Structure 1
């Protein structure tokens, strides 16, 4: 059974992201005093009293704004409202009832779902009556006074939420073992790249809906947004991230936080998809992002996006191959990286991208038996003899895989200094070809024995 959805909505800067983080016991949403930091719908699973539901954080609703970015934020909030089984309407107790609160309440009165009016920033429960009395005029029933920062009355709010969930008493308690096993098998996919290369558009095309806010203004995405999908009966978590610019160009604290979260998304990913604009090619900043991906050890795919913007008379397989080779020539140290061509706008290459993500994740987690591994290394050593330095030849006595995700192999040799970078590169190439480790980094732990 699908988990019920609970949406937190309200005008800007009333503490929605702080409440989202408090209820989910995470720091998934960026919290900053600047209005408009949250822009997309941010989803997370929450459990209370053995009941699970999906919580959505939304951007601040500005009902009458004509700004395209703010209209996009409002659209994302409206989509969350349509999806929700329960709506948490959050207001600011310090400010009292604002004009924007009244505008949002009029919008919510047109819905049919249960609405829980919550008054935030009530840090002194003894003064609760004076804070909440004027909110009765919004016509939303009895307000619940809370403090998201201090955690006051959050339990009361959660109890109220689950009381409104459809058939909540019939939802089975969480099986933690099943939950852990499910998370273990999920494929985390970080969609990363510079600003405005089409990362959010790519995810929207995969989902078949405008889940992520898309605008021509660089830096539209702020939070890292996790979206769970199923592909070929496998669960994938698509992580939309903020565009990563050069450090010198990062000015706002919010953007610094966004970039750090984007890099953290790479660290927790099984596969990272570096999205680049085909009209710009692989830039210096892209190469720096690739170095972070290599450092993490996750699988890597370069998605050359906006391919539909190329002149039609240039659209040939030969051109694609030449372009892909040109990209690979710029990153000779990352021979394992796979290249694919996409167009989020035209829905081109999306199925192939998802299949490539799935196969790359499988290779990332692959385990090779010790017998097969040693036979492959013996064969490689027969084809090209190990190096000899000052009359002493390298001997690989034994090998075993000690870890997957990424694959790490322990090699026991007669002398570590004889294991040259050139021969290491050769062995990696042979193992990649023998066992199908395309798209995945291979690491050696060389030990003297």
Structure 2
């Protein structure tokens, strides 16, 4: 049995360096970092390793004293949930600024709880933080760990403070048992939820998980980071990613929003299947088609979900209208799965996830060379390639070079003159007759090398 992996939550007021420390402990820049306070909103988890000590680290939103119904209040509720579930809380403060009233309030809240606390004086490089370190003794957590999350100073001291709390029976440096092996077809489904702001992505994620894991509300653009969560659906593992809303590029002026959109695009690159969530009360817009086109360009399998179906007017005509518009606007993947869902009620959510597993299966499919070329011969016989300038284009054979997304290589002579319409004819045939559905298919044309080309 693999040993238990403890959990550590980072808490503190806004802009004390929590996300910087999170990135330092996971070993890569995962959480968005900016000088603007309040960048982090949802709690983000990552696998941390500190001098051989393994634990799950949770980055939380800046702790603020606001009404529970406001956005900062809902962010605070997420932080409180993270600390309650953690084995240890890292209470971070800015040693250069010193102890502020909000730091004192956080300390009172932590002292009232049962989670062990390690006080961390961040930005303590040099002597600029000395006064803040002395002030922090009044918080009641003893001497703080002095460190610089940005420069990596003090990590050994942090290790010594965490070790007795995470390994109370002594440090066990025996290797864990290897994680269970998953192959590409049966491993965790890497599923990203994308769409315009306020389409209901975080509400949908909460519905899927059965808990208020993501912050939601009427404000557009609440989610900033792409948040990844692992869970099981009908005994099948899923790596679910909630992303920030993507507006038209011309409207994205704010630096932080640009970082959020870049993070969402990175999530698309990482995913196997992408669910594009539409707002059924608004219908299909040009921005939706642009997002869908980006997903297909990156070679990811796509599922379209019409959200807010429980409040949509004329649902039947709306569904048919969106279906027709998708088939026209996404000619390269006509027939992409379209599912009506309601994040508020849960309607259609299971069908959406089932569709995601189905398209991943098509996305991962491989066809034997014999069956592939038998189809190819029939396709060429039914519709021979044109002869531009009276010179015949001879197509010899085809092979599947890769999967995820499926890629094929077509060999022949004068293939550089093959019209795009004929290439589409072959790709559509591959999708329809070989069972690849609406997943993106790549077709590369290749001619044999002429030995006299270099003469």
* TM-score above 0.5: yes
Q: Which residue of structure 1 aligns with residue 452 of structure 2? A: none
Residue 345 (structure 2) aligns with: 346
DSSP-derived class of the 1:333 partner: helix
The answer on whether the counterparts of 2:230 and 2:237 sit within 8 Å (CA) in structure 1 is: yes
Report what 1:131 is aligned to.
Answer: 132
The Cα offsets for residues 27-80 of structure 1, whole Å up to 9 and x where unpaired, read as 111111111110001111112344432111000011344661101110110111
CA contact (8 A) 2:185 2:364 kept: no
Deviation at 1:153, TM superposition (A): 0.5
Where does residue 303 of structure 2 map in the other structure? 301
- Matching residue of 2:400: 401
- Aligned with 2:292: secondary structure? helix
Aligned length: 445
Q: Is the alpha carbon distance of 1:90 and 1:349 closer, same or farther for their aligned partners in structure 2, counting shifts above 3 Å? A: same
Gap runs ≥5 in structure 2: 449-455
Question: What is the TM-score of this pair, normalised by structure 2?
Answer: 0.91
- Aligned residue for 1:86? 88
- Corresponding residue for residue 150 of structure 1: 151
In the alignment, the residues of structure 2 paired with residue 213 and residue 183 of structure 1 have an alpha-carbon distance, to the nearest angstrom, of 32
C-alpha change, 1:154 and 1:367, in structure 2 (3 Å) is same
Query: In the TM superposition, what is the alpha-carbon distance from 1:226 to its structure 2 partner?
Result: 1.1
Tell me the residue number matched to 1:447: 446
The residue number in structure 2 matching 1:367 is 366
CA contact (8 A) 1:50 1:174 kept: no
The answer to whether structure 1 residue 243 and structure 2 residue 242 are counterparts is: no
CA deviation string 1:311-366 (max 9, x = no partner):
4xx455x7634542333233323325221111101111111111111222222222
Selected match of 2:15 from 10, 13, 16 = 13
Instruction: Specify the alignment match of 1:327 in structure 2.
Output: 326
Correspondence for 2:291: 289
Give the distance between the partners of 1:156 and 1:176, measured in 2 at CA. 29
RMSD: 2.5
SS in structure 1 at match of 2:143: coil
Q: Distance in 2 between matches of 1:39 and 1:393?
A: 62
- Is contact 1:393–1:418 with CA below 8 Å preserved after alignment? no
Distance in 2 between the 1:175 and 1:400 partners?
Answer: 40
Alpha-carbon distance, 1:122 to partner: 0.3
> Where in structure 2 are the equivalents of 1:74-223 lying within 5 Å?
74-124=76-126, 130-165=131-166, 169=171, 173-174=175-176, 185-223=187-225
The Cα shift of 1:184 comes to 10
Q: Secondary structure at the match of 1:160?
A: helix
Question: Using a 3 Å threshold, how does the CA distance of structure 1 residues 153 and 178 change in structure 2: closer, same or farther?
Answer: farther
State the Cα distance separating 1:182 from its structure 2 match.
9.2
Q: SS in structure 1 opposite 2:120?
A: strand
Q: Closer, same or farther in 2 for the Cα pair 1:414/1:64, shift >3 Å?
A: closer
Shift in alpha-carbon separation, 1:253–1:187, aligned structure 2, 3 A:
same
> Distance in 2 between the 1:323 and 1:288 partners?
15
Q: Assess if the C-alpha contact under 8 Å between 1:50 and 1:173 holds in 2.
A: no
**In the alignment, does 2:427 pair up with 1:425?**
no
Q: How far apart are residue 169 of structure 1 and its match? A: 4.6
TM-score normalised to structure 1 length: 0.92
CA distance in 1 between counterparts of 2:135 and 2:318 reads 66
Residue 109 of structure 1 aligns to a residue in which SS? helix
The 1:364/1:29 distance shift into structure 2, 3 A limit, reads: same
Partners of 2:282 and 2:355 lie apart in 1 by 23
**CA 1:168/1:63 → structure 2, altered by over 3 Å: closer, same or farther?**
farther
Counterpart-to-counterpart distance in 1, 2:147 and 2:53: 21
> Can you give the 5+ residue segments of structure 1 that lack an aligned partner in the other structure?
none
Partner of 1:258: 260
Contact 1:197 1:275 in 2 (8 A): yes
Distance 1:183 1:34, change over 3 A: farther
Name whichever of 225-234 and 40-49 sits farther off: 225-234
Offset at 1:401? 1.2
